[in-house]
Chain A
């Protein structure tokens, strides 16, 4: 198509007399042809001059500036929407990873002895006050706990209250007073000692198996921690001491810190 024909089409399009299909093709051409754009604009000026309409010549690039202003609005919104979606996805992912990491850290902490406080609390709640302070973290951070637990338990017994109710609050308060700011779990396992370890292992397995954000390194570290903990527990089992009242804290008496206040039967008989 020669230039003359294009300009003829432009004139017809200006008058709204060009078929729609040709309009579409010509529009694309106009968009990239400054000469055609200028001609289109002058056609408007010619018509206005013939009708004696008031006109003012705009600065160069007026229509382009309008076009840029329009383009700046629409895609900008898309970009903002896109950024918002990316931000939300990133926040969700980081939240999931954070929760998973926190869970693993708590499990490690529990595996290193922090769980001893929970164990003590559980034992008190079930009436068998077997407090195991064999864990190293418990020994360092919760050194004052056994005395407090015993005193609380004894006080309650003297007041005629069941040890299960008496010891729980005291154990919580004592654990916090001892400088351990970690919240103490209220979960009460069915069985005292082995159930806690089994629960920890199950939870760890569950998280590792189900978390898509767990890396190979995280899994290895977690498993190593669990294995070392299991080893320590196994090696401690043979040395478990029999408590004076006959109740034993199996597998948790390596440091000889098993405290036996009373058996459930003895508490209930009083």
Chain B
């Protein structure tokens, strides 16, 4: 898979001591890892803490990563184990939650509920993201749509796409970039209307 190759390139850079490359891997996989951990820990804040711990563990174990499997497959296992350990620790030391009779305002944690994909708001947001992306792809010119689909769904390299579309590699690069820009423009509108700031994703 080409996606694996791009991850491997970042991993090799991290292994050479370039920590900024790991930052890019975190930015790339944070949404998937947080979502994965949420299967075990329902609280979004707890899930983020555990996801953060998983990323830290992965970074420390990265010198031993040989690239036999895809980076995300490897990260996935670390995240699952970290989440299970956190869950076991919580069961050993249960935290009692006091009932807040004063703060009965349900709107006090709107942002938290939006970020939790299991809440109706969170599910609606996730669904909205998917609809927006799919709608934006449908509006793309044929050459841009083909290029981004071959890249994201088929996992083809630029060279393979160029061969498939019978165009130079530079053109493929430009088409994929312009497709992403068009989709991203729509996506920013969703975030600006839903979460208020697109920087929330960083």
**Residues of A in contact with B (beta carbons under 8 Å apart):** 7-8, 11-12, 14-17, 20, 23-24, 27-28, 30-31, 34, 37-67, 69-70, 73
Contact A12 B201 (CB under 8 A): no
Q: What 0/1 readout, one digit per residue, does chain B (23-54) give for beta carbons within 8 Å of chain A? A: 11011111110111010000011011001100
20 contacts between A and B (CB under 8 A): A16-B6, A17-B6, A31-B23, A39-B184, A41-B30, A41-B201, A54-B35, A54-B117, A55-B117, A56-B38, A56-B122, A57-B31, A57-B200, A58-B30, A58-B51, A58-B115, A61-B202, A62-B51, A67-B23, A73-B60
How many pairs of residues, A versus B, come closer than 8 Å at their CB atoms? 183
Residues of A within 8 A of B52 (CB): 62, 65-66, 69
B133 within 8 A of A: yes
CA distance A72 to B200 in the complex (A): 23
Residues of A within 8 A of B70 (CB): none
Closest to B22 in A: A70
Contacting residue for B28 out of A34, A41, A59, A61, CB 8 A:
A41
CA distance A185 to B171 in the complex (A): 93
B129 within 8 A of A: yes
Contact B115 A56 (CB under 8 A): yes
Contact A63 B26 (CB under 8 A): yes
Contact B20 A45 (CB under 8 A): no
Contact A15 B158 (CB under 8 A): yes
Contact A54 B32 (CB under 8 A): yes
A57 to B: closest C-beta gap in Å: 5
Contacting residue for A47 out of B21, B126, B152, B181, CB 8 A:
B152
CA distance A16 to B158 in the complex (A): 10
**What 8 A-B pairs come out closest when comparing CB atoms?**
A16-B6, A56-B35, A55-B31, A49-B133, A11-B177, A63-B26, A44-B28, A41-B201
Residues of B within 8 A of A17 (CB): 6, 157-158, 173
Closest to B157 in A: A17
Residues of B within 8 A of A61 (CB): 202
CA distance A42 to B197 in the complex (A): 13
Known: A17-B173, A40-B28. A60 touches B199 (CB 8 A): yes
Please report the total number of B residues contacting A with Cβ < 8 Å.
74
Closest to B56 in A: A69
Beyond A27-B21, A56-B122, 15 extra complex contacts between A and B, CB < 8 Å: A7-B181, A14-B28, A15-B151, A27-B24, A46-B133, A49-B129, A55-B31, A55-B35, A55-B126, A56-B31, A57-B31, A57-B34, A57-B200, A60-B202, A63-B26
Known: A12-B177, A17-B173, A45-B201. A70 touches B133 (CB 8 A): no
B165 within 8 A of A: no
Known: A23-B13, A63-B23. A57 touches B152 (CB 8 A): no
Residues of B within 8 A of A46 (CB): 133, 152, 180, 183-184, 187
B174 within 8 A of A: yes
Q: What 0/1 readout, one digit per residue, does chain B (154-188) give for beta carbons within 8 Å of chain A? A: 00011000000000000001101100110110011
B66 within 8 A of A: no
CA distance A158 to B9 in the complex (A): 96
Contact B2 A16 (CB under 8 A): yes
Residues of B within 8 A of A48 (CB): 31-32
CA distance A59 to B174 in the complex (A): 31
Closest to B53 in A: A69
Residues of A within 8 A of B137 (CB): 50
B143 to A: closest C-beta gap in Å: 16
Residues of A within 8 A of B148 (CB): 50
B123 to A: closest C-beta gap in Å: 10
Contact A44 B130 (CB under 8 A): no
Residues of B within 8 A of A53 (CB): 32
CA distance A58 to B79 in the complex (A): 15
